[in-house]
Structure 1
């Protein structure tokens, strides 16, 4: 219900015919604001289209508006790095319990195999990696399938980076952790342009605004990556109730609350489609559902000299 595809694509077609989509930008400093403003414009247009289409479309639109929130998760609000680390570790346990890492590896590894064609290790950069559960899972799956990879897991929280490097040393996998502002890959000291073939962000897209996600995609392209993959929960009423229910099994009140907030912030397929189109200026991407996840895969064109 919360995908609103009929009204959404009709609204987008109208904005395209009026010359408003895709909005133009020339400097990367403009991208965040341009994307955020267009998303607001799109949602207003979708509301008007829903009214025109009748009650069967307007009611889901009103439910969508009531469900969506801009509230910040407790793990993002907390100034205590250790508290954030505990929340991320709870998410890691939940992912292992639900076999989420295996599912994500099934989605990402075919792309890794496509990139493993030049005899060099495939460079994988994970943004907002948290505990690094996916980074470790990808490295282990690659080892099992005989694909050589070099995985860099990044996060902006020092405690998570330190803990990740400790675990990487214990597991003897080709994974390293670095501190990184996900919006500007130039901040990653020691990672040369072009060394990351694939940039991944998983289960974190809802923490960022549309403009911030567009910045990540554009930065990945400018850094020389060949592909960007974003994975997150599928926006639906079922997951709005299901995510906090599963999170409650960890027995942590704030983590359960974060599960509800996150599920209310998941992006719809058309919203991710819009973000990728603005960031790249092309339609060389696809957004698909592999329940209970949405996957954005954008093919990138590294800039000359990257």
Structure 2
């Protein structure tokens, strides 16, 4: 065995388990840091003001957007993108009361430096397949030991329980699932209590998921589906639609349309969950990413992802502007160690 391979194997067997133990302990705590708490009230006010400003302009477009008219979709996406940009640009001095503006103004200026939208390496079709497979394997192990899959389970459990309470075996479908890491975890956790499905637009990702399911003896249905056209899921009676750790890959207008489509197609409800950007999380992930797995692709994409992620208030804004929502209850929340969710429940 080459010396580099021997060293990598030694690190995998001795160093990685110790690092994973540290990550498991950290996973019980919210790691987003004090900056989030300090700016959350400001973001909430900016969100409400932005909804009031953009909601009336977006409402007349809803019917045409749902009919798939290209011009209306283009206009809708542009307005939602402008709404997010406007919300981010709102200065605390414009919104805050009680004499706290100078401090929050400084924190807001610092926080504004965090967001950066750059493509991820694993989204590049030219990335060598062996490097993609290795990076995804590291990502799966990272998600397990940081408790991210457990965080997702906790967020979707109320929807699955509601579907199970109807005396049927619920169908849970994860859209934009990539290689289906969450779907495989759900299949292990639920066993025969739920039917698990996963879909993506990229067949090469789904092929990796199918191979893993066969290797682990898990029953997961993989299919190519467009998250903006889920009529087939509705026809099959899918109960719960999830979208996990993928939201940051999409522009805000598309996310709003995905939320609407999932809410209208799922029998019980939908849950969108992703990490939330923060300087503290960025620093921790950059450190762990450099030490864990020894793959530049994982390190680069982990850091890039965090800087692209949305705040809870930004996702709440997107959900509020989603076109043609049926009668639903929309909840947003935070989930340790570093995640936020939008849970959409169909009303009777």
Asked whether the two chains share a fold, i.e. TM above 0.5, the reply is yes
**Higher relative contact order (Cα pairs below 8 Å, separated by 6+ residues):** 2
TM-score between both structures, scaled by the size of structure 1: 0.85
Asked if the contact 1:102–1:137 (Cα under 8 Å) also holds between the matched residues in 2, the reply is: no
Alignment check: 8 A CA contact 2:229 2:261 kept:
yes
Q: Which moved more, 1:200-209 or 1:172-181?
A: 172-181
CA 1:104/1:11 → structure 2, altered by over 3 Å: closer, same or farther? Answer: closer
- Residue matched to 1:268: 311
Question: Which residue of structure 1 aligns with residue 16 of structure 2?
Answer: none
SS of equivalent residue, structure 1 residue 20:
helix
2:224: which partner in 1? Answer: 179
**Structure 2 unmatched ranges of 5 or more:** 1-34
Structure 1: stretches of 5+ with no match in the other structure: none
Q: Which moved more, 1:170-179 or 1:202-211?
A: 170-179
1:244/1:258 contact within 8 Å kept: no
TM-superposition CA deviations, 1:128-148 (whole Å, max 9, x none):
2223221122122223xxx62
Report the equivalent of 1:206.
248
2:40 equivalent to 1:5 = yes
Q: Distance in 2 between matches of 1:213 and 1:81?
A: 29
Moved more, 198-207 or 292-301: 292-301
Work out whether 1:20 is the aligned partner of 2:54. Answer: yes
Residues 54, 99 of structure 1: CA spacing in aligned structure 2 closer, same or farther, 3 A cutoff? Answer: closer
Structure 1 partner of 2:112: 65
Query: How far 1:202 moved relative to its partner?
Result: 1.3
Shift of residue 301 of structure 1?
5.9
Question: Which of 271, 278, 295 is matched with 1:252 structurally?
Answer: 295
Write 1 or 2 for the structure with the bigger share of helix.
Answer: 2
Structure 1 distance, partners of 2:95, 2:304, is 25
Runs of 4+ aligned structure 1 residues displaced above 4 Å come to 50-53
Superposition CA RMSD, Å: 2.7
* CA distance in structure 1 between the partners assigned to 2:188 and 2:309 by the alignment: 28
Instruction: Indicate how the Cα distance of structure 1 residues 14 and 133 shifts in structure 2: closer, same or farther if over 3 A, else same.
Output: closer
Counterparts of 1:58-97 in structure 2, within 5 Å, are: 58-80=105-127, 82=129, 83-97=131-145
Listed as ranges, the matches of 1:105-254 within 5 Å are: 105-143=153-191, 148-186=193-231, 191-193=233-235, 195-248=237-290, 249-254=292-297
**Cα pair distance change 1:39/1:99, threshold 3 Å:** closer
Query: Based on CA coordinates, which of the two structures has the bigger radius of gyration?
Result: 2
Shift in alpha-carbon separation, 1:230–1:15, aligned structure 2, 3 A: closer
1:241 is displaced (CA, Å) by: 0.9
Kept in 2, the 8 Å contact 1:202–1:230? The answer is: yes
Paired residues of 1:85 and 1:160 also in contact (CA < 8 A): no
1:291 aligned to which of 326, 332, 336: 336
